[in-house]
Amino acid sequence: MPFLGAALSFLMMMLLPGTEASGGTWCYATQDATCAPARWKVLAPQCGGVNQSPINVDRKTARRSNELDAFVFKGYNTAPAGAWSIVNSGHAVQVNLGSGISVSGAGLPAEYNALQFHFHWGKPDGNGSEHQLDGNWYPMEVHIVHMHSKYTDIKVAVTDPNGLAVLGFFFKVSDTDNSNYNTIIDGLQSVRYSGGSVDLASTFRLDSLLPSENLLSRYYRYWGSLTTPGCAEAVIWTVFEDPIPISSAQLNAFVNSVHFSASGKTEVKMQDNYRPVQALNSRRIYASKQASMSSSTSPALSSVLLFPLLAIRLL
C-alpha cells in the first residue's frame, strides 16, 4: 500500500505539472489543459455533480416567484472602520471584507454575512463572465460571497446546501470611468502577481460598486455550487439583471495587469479566469418579483413559430 500511495502521488505530479507554485492543483484553460475546468472533477469529485455553477440563466425557462422581493442590505451603505485587503489568489483578485456587512430578505432562509468579493474576467475586448443571461456573455462578473450567519467556519458552511449566498453582478463597458472602482483598480497594481496582498487605500460603501438601489430587486435565483474546486453544492445564487458600468480602460486594468504567475516566475497573464457554464439538469431558475422575463416566453408566440417547423418536418 505505501508503494501504491507513492505511485499515486507520482502519477498526480505527472498529471499536474507546475501547478504547485500557484498554490493549488487546479487552473484555468488559459494556463494548462491538464488542470483546466474539464479535468476538475478528477481533482474534486463534486465538480462533476448535477447542481454545478455557473449556468446560463435562460429566462425562457425561468419561473416567476413573488416571494423573491427586495434584499435587506446591512452595512453596505457605510465605509467601515478598519482595512480591506486585496489579494491575488493565483486564480482571481479578491477583496477580503471585515465583519458587519450582511444580506437577508429576498427569499433567503436567514441572514448571510459578507466575507469577500472577487472578479472573473476574459481577454482584452473579450467576454469573461461566468454566468450568462439568455446565452449572452458579459466582459466581467463580480461575486460577493456571504456565509449563513449560523456558521463561523466556511469549511462547515460548504457542507450545507444553504451554507453560502453569493451575489453575482455582470459588468458592461461604458464610455466613462466608474470612479467608484478607482480604489480597487489602484490596488490592482500592488497585486500583479500571485500571492500579492495589500490593504486597500481605504474602505468604501460596498453599495457604491453596485447598480443603483432601485435595480437591486431585479434578479434571478437558483441553487448551485462554488465555481472553483472543490465545487461544493452549497450556494444560493443570485444573478442580478442589470450590469455594472465600467470603462474599457478600467476593464483592461484587470485583463492586462494581473498575473496567474507568482513574482519572478514565467509571466502568465490572468485572463479567462472563468468556469464554462454547466448543465442546469433538473434545477429551476426563479425570477424575482421585479425581474424582467424574456419577451419570447409567450406560449402563443412559440407555438406559432413551432407549428410551421413541425409541418415542414412532417412533409
Ligand X SMILES: *[C@@H]1O[C@H](CO)[C@@H](O)[C@H](O)[C@H]1NC(C)=O
For position 180 contacting ligand X by CB under 6 A, the verdict is: no
- Residue 6 to residues 12, 14, 21, 115, 308, Cα–Cα distance (Å): 10, 12, 21, 38, 63
The span from the CA of 181 to the CA of 82, in Å, is 19
> Which residue reads 434578479 in cell numbers?
219
Tell me the C-alpha distance between 27 and 116, whole Å: 21
Rounded to an integer, what distance in angstroms lies between the CA atom of residue 201 and that of residue 192? Answer: 16
Which of residues 84 and 220 has its CB atom nearest to ligand X in the complex?
220
Residue 148 touches which member of Zn ion, ligand X, none, C-beta under 5-8 Å by kind: none
Tell me the closest approach of the beta carbon of residue 28 to Zn ion, in angstroms: 12
Task: Specify the stretch interacting with Zn ion by CB under 5 A; choose among 139-147, 151-159, 206-214, 230-238.
Answer: 139-147
Least Cβ distance, residue 124 to ligand X (angstroms) = 9
Instruction: Compute the residue count for the chain.
Output: 315
Exactly one of 39, 59, 91, 143 binds Zn ion (CB under 5 A); which one? 143
- Residue 126 interacts with which of Zn ion, ligand X, none, CB < 5 to 8 Å by class: ligand X
Active site residue 151: yes
Q: Which CB sits closer to ligand X, 131 or 221?
A: 131
Q: Which is nearer to Zn ion, 59 or 143 (CB)?
A: 143
Report, in Å, the least distance between residue 54 CB and Zn ion: 8
- For residue 123, the minimal CB distance to ligand X (Å) is 8
Helix (H) or strand (E) holding 5: helix 2-15
Of 143 and 259, the one with the shorter C-beta distance to Zn ion is 143
Residues pairing with 259 in the sheet: 269
126-152 in b/e form (b: 16+ CB < 10 A) is ebbbbbbbeeebbbbbbbbbbbbeebe
- Could you say which of ligand X, Zn ion, none residue 245 binds, taking C-beta under 5 to 8 angstroms by partner kind? none
Q: Find which of ligand X, Zn ion, none residue 143 binds, CB within 5 to 8 Å per kind.
A: Zn ion
Using the minimum distance from each CB to ligand X, give the nearer residue, 37 or 243. Answer: 243
Query: By Cβ distance, which residue is nearest to Zn ion?
Result: 143
Q: Which of ligand X, Zn ion, none has residue 136 at its interface (CB below 5 to 8 Å by kind)?
A: ligand X
Q: Which of 91, 146, 148, 259 is catalytic?
A: 91
**Which cell numbers hold the place of 50?**
448535477
- Residue (82 or 124) nearer to ligand X, CB: 124
Euclidean distance between CA atoms 276 and 127, whole angstroms: 11
- Active-site residue (options: 151, 181, 222, 274): 151
CB 288 within 8 A of CB 69: yes
Size of the site for ligand X (CB under 6 A): 5
Site for ligand X in 105-144 (CB under 6 A): 125-127, 136-137
- Continuous H helices in 115-217: 154-157, 182-188
Q: How far is the CA of 138 from the CAs of 56, 80, 129, 245, 246, in angstroms? A: 12, 30, 5, 11, 12
How much is the CA Rg of the chain, to the nearest whole Å? Answer: 21
119 binds, among Zn ion, ligand X, none (CB under 5 to 8 A by kind): none
The verdict on whether 148 is a catalytic residue reads no
Binding site for ligand X (CB under 6 A): 125-127, 136-137
Residues with active-site annotation: 91, 151
Binding site for Zn ion (CB under 5 A): 143
